[in-house]
Amino acid sequence: MARSTAPEGEFALELDDLLGELRRRGWTLILWGPREAPELYAAMYHRATSADVLIIRGEKDASAYRTPVVGDSPVFCPPVVAYQYHAEPTWALRAVLSLPAPGEPGAPMGMEKPSPKCAIPAGLPKPVLIRPLSQLAN
C-alpha cells in the first residue's frame, strides 16, 4: 500500500468532506500502524444488529460493506454481508454513506458471501488509534 496520508488536489478535498460526514454521524476510525503512516485505515458504525464498515487500503483501493452483528461477530472479517462495494475511497465512502439505515425502505436485506476485500489482512500491527470520529478535532 502506498503510504501517502493525504491524496492530492480535488480528491483530497472531497475525501476530507466525506470523512467529515463520517465524523458528524459518529463513526469510529481505526488505524493499523503508526499514525503518520498507517498500513490500513478502517471506519465503522456499529448498531445493535449490524455494522457499516469502510476499509481504505490506498488511494485507489477501498471497500464498504454492511454486515449483520450477532454477539461477537467478526466485523472486520464477516462471514456474510448484506451489501458490499469495492472502488476508490471516495466512491466507497459515498456508497456507504448513502445506505439507508436498517429497517428503512431500500436498506439492503439479502445476505451474500463477502469478497476477500471485506476482510483486513493478517499480519497487521495492532491498532494504535481507535477513536470515535465525532471526537476528533478538525
- Note the pLDDT of residue 24: 86
Do the domain assignments include residue 9? no
Please tell me the total count of domains within the chain.
1
Q: Is 119 helix (H, G, I), strand (E, B) or coil?
A: coil
Whether residue 3 lies inside any domain: the answer is no
pLDDT tens across the length of the chain (138 residues)? 433 444 444 445 566 777 778 888 889 888 888 877 788 889 999 998 999 999 999 889 999 999 999 888 899 999 999 999 999 999 999 999 999 999 999 999 999 999 999 999 888 888 766 666 654 444
pLDDT for res 134: 53
Q: For residue 7, tell me if it sits in a domain.
A: no
Q: Is 138 exposed, middle or buried (0-12, 13-18, 19+ CB in 10 A)?
A: exposed
Residue 108: name the closest of 61, 60, 52, 28 by CA: 52
Residue 5: inside a domain: no
Element (H, E) at 16: helix 9-24
C-alpha cell at 123: 499480519
Domain membership of residue 17 (yes or no) is: no
Tell me whether residue 106 is in a domain: yes
Closest residue by Cα to residue 62 from 10, 113, 11, 106: 11
**Quick one: cell of 11?**
480528491
Nearest Cα to 96, choosing from 63, 132, 60? Answer: 63
The pLDDT assigned to 138 comes to: 42
